[in-house]
Chain A
Amino acid sequence: MSVLLLAEVNQGRLATDAVAKTLSALSPLGEVHVLVASGDSEAAAQEASRLQGVSRVLMAQDVSLAHGLAEPLAALIVSLAPAYSHIAAPATAFSKNILPRVASLLDVMVLSDVTHVHDAETFDRPVYAGNAIQTVVSADPIKIFTVRTSSFSAVGEGGSAPIERTDAVADPELSFWVEDVSVVSERPDLTSARVVVSGGRGVGSKEKFDMIIDLADRMGAAVGASRAAVDLGYAPNDWQVGQTGKVVAPELYLAVGISGAIQHLAGMKDSKVIVAINKDEDAPVFRVADYALVGDLFSIVPELTKKLEKQFS
């Protein structure tokens, strides 16, 4: 039995951390082949071939695959599917767009955000914003699922899997890329950062959100946000942590001016250490916080930034 892992490529670079974590979820299932399909796949395929537990890299390169559009990618995966017992990918916006389409084309179900693989047909996944965990047995001939990367540790490098070219299939030309708007930053990636500092509605404005960013930069952390902070324009959408945003599990998560709605907790409650800073001592976020600091964030955050600065210098 072989497993096909759909990898994400951004501007020619492999989403290595996500692929490496997904590999540790998939390795017990059998031989893993990584599909690197984009407009510019060479370097990403090389990178994938070095990850441990990869037995083959399938490399497809075509303009139709350049922007992660679901229709041509799903068609490609469907063409490869007969050789596989499982098709999986990290649970990202990229794969959640594609894999359910693949599943319906193959007349099978899809499982999202798998957190534990028991055996070839039995998987755990969270439901109800992580307030319950289901163990699910699939009767489908091909199992298709996305993997919640925060539940797995990354495999290392040192492999040297062969790279095989595979052809893109004809683009169904149902949708067309117009533009990507993304801000490239030097900060660590939210889903793989060791420390995450998140701000909520309590921060009050986009200008004041700089205070959260300063603290994060001081700590070498990624910046996160609650839905309210994103809705209000304090932070971009890709910083949202939660049930319907990103799921993170860093060593340290600081929640600043965030009340702790279940939808937010769903995205961060597996963090190793949680610190909450909130002026309301009854805020639900304190029920999951290891360290609770009750007070005004506008005095606490600058003080924290300053004192950490002192420590590091």
Chain B
Amino acid sequence: MKVIVPVKRVVDYNVKVRVRADGSGVELTNVKMSMNPFDEIAVEEAVRLKEKGIVSEIVAVSIGVKQAQDVLRTALAMGADRAILVDATSDVNQDIEPLAVAKILARLVEQEQPDLVIAGKQAIDNDLNATGQMLAGLLGWGQATFASEIKIADGSAIVTREVDGGLQTVRVSLPAVITADLRLNEPRYVSLPNIMKAKKKPLEERTVAELDIDTTPRLKVVRTIEPPQRSAGVRVSSVDELIEKLKNEAGVI
């Protein structure tokens, strides 16, 4: 069975972003970029399914700027078989909206005919948590979001999902879209030999125009500001002092 894994190039999760003073957005020049951590988990899951003999081919797809090649090479080094880069903008500041991403992915699904799409549950830049669900909607496929465990059996995926009240298990008929949560697995480190091997794996470039998808943004970001900052408070030296302050100063107990 064939799996598509969409991967996004985002600001590395260790970077504390800086908001530009003029309100135009977040500073992205000279900032470390990496694969979205949830997408890394999605790639890892696909590779594990391949190692178990359930999956035969993994196609990693990234949509955005040309520099997203880097994250595709990482996916290839982790074990994806080939990669597709959809060149959707030349502006690193332009975030392609999940609806447009889902439409592009839906077109690629038509062409590639995978049995499963495993996506990250959320991109840690726009924090939207939408692409997988939108793709499932467009394709008319079933979905299993926020997965912490995936088992494939008899044309279905049995997926345990992290939900607000605990865990929910669903069975979704394939083809389907699954989105990965944090505890699905721990992604492997890519080894140097695998990075070298990945350089020889095929990476195909496509364009939005050729795929014939309208990516006109629906949302306009008119302003980006810093949230109100908290300042550090006081150091207390004992439990007694803490209780006293919480009672008499803060009035919260």
Contacts and interface: CB of A to CB of B under 8 A. Distances in A.
A134 B133 CA distance: 23
Interface stretch (A20-28, A45-53, A152-160, A292-300): A292-300
Contact of B164 (A92, A98, A269, A275): A92
B224 interface: yes
Interface stretch (A54-62, A162-170, A176-184): A176-184
A292 B182 contact: no
B240 A133 contact: no
Nearest to A237: B162
B233 A238 contact: no
Interface stretch (A79-87, A199-207, A281-289): A281-289
A219 interface: yes
B236 A292 contact: yes
Given A94-B164, A181-B166, A108 B218 contact: yes
A104 B252 contact: no
B230 interface: yes
A68 B168 CA distance: 10
Contact of A138 (B137, B218, B233): B218
A132 interface: yes
B55 interface: no
Interface string A28-69: 000000000000000000000000000000000000000111
The residue in A127, A272, A292 that gathers the most chain B C-beta atoms within 10 A of its C-beta is A127
B143 A182 contact: no
Contacts of B134: 100-101, 103-104, 110
B128 A134 contact: no
A126 B127 contact: yes
B226 interface: yes
Nearest to B131: A100
Contact of B129 (A96, A175, A294): A96
Given A69-B170, A174-B172, A292 B125 contact: no
Given A101-B143, A102-B137, A289-B232, A128 B11 contact: yes
Contact of A104 (B13, B127, B137): B137
Contacts of A139: 218-220
A313 interface: no
Contacts of B238: 293
A99 B218 CA distance: 16
Interface stretch (B65-73, B97-105, B194-202): B97-105
Nearest to A92: B164
A137 B163 contact: no
B252 A243 contact: no
A280 interface: no
Contact of B233 (A69, A71, A107, A292): A292
Contacts of B223: 134-135
A237 B220 contact: no
B144 interface: yes
Given A104-B138, A132-B19, A252-B252, A178 B129 contact: no
A173 B173 CA distance: 9
Nearest to A107: B99
Interface in A266-313: 269, 272-275, 286-294, 300, 303-304, 307-308, 311
A101 B127 CA distance: 16
Given A104-B135, A131-B17, A236-B166, A308 B243 contact: yes
Nearest to A312: B253
A140 B224 CA distance: 20
Nearest to A138: B219
Interface string B218-249: 11111111110010111110111011011000
Contacts of B233: 274, 289-292
B250 interface: yes
A308 B132 CA distance: 47
B208 interface: no
B226 A112 contact: no
A149 B143 CA distance: 25
Contact of A112 (B127, B166, B243): B127
B85 to A, nearest CB: 23
A135 B17 contact: no
A88 to B, nearest CB: 14
Contacts of A1: none
B182 A244 contact: yes
A238 to B, nearest CB: 5
B169 interface: yes
A238 B133 contact: no
A258 interface: no
26 contacts: A93-B161, A97-B145, A100-B133, A103-B134, A103-B137, A104-B102, A108-B218, A109-B97, A110-B130, A111-B219, A122-B222, A128-B11, A132-B19, A135-B225, A137-B220, A175-B173, A176-B170, A176-B172, A178-B169, A178-B170, A179-B169, A238-B164, A251-B252, A252-B253, A287-B232, A290-B250
The 5 closest A-B pairs by CB, nearest first: A174-B142, A182-B166, A290-B233, A104-B137, A104-B134
Given A126-B127, A243-B124, 6 more contacts: A71-B142, A112-B130, A136-B222, A273-B252, A293-B242, A294-B235
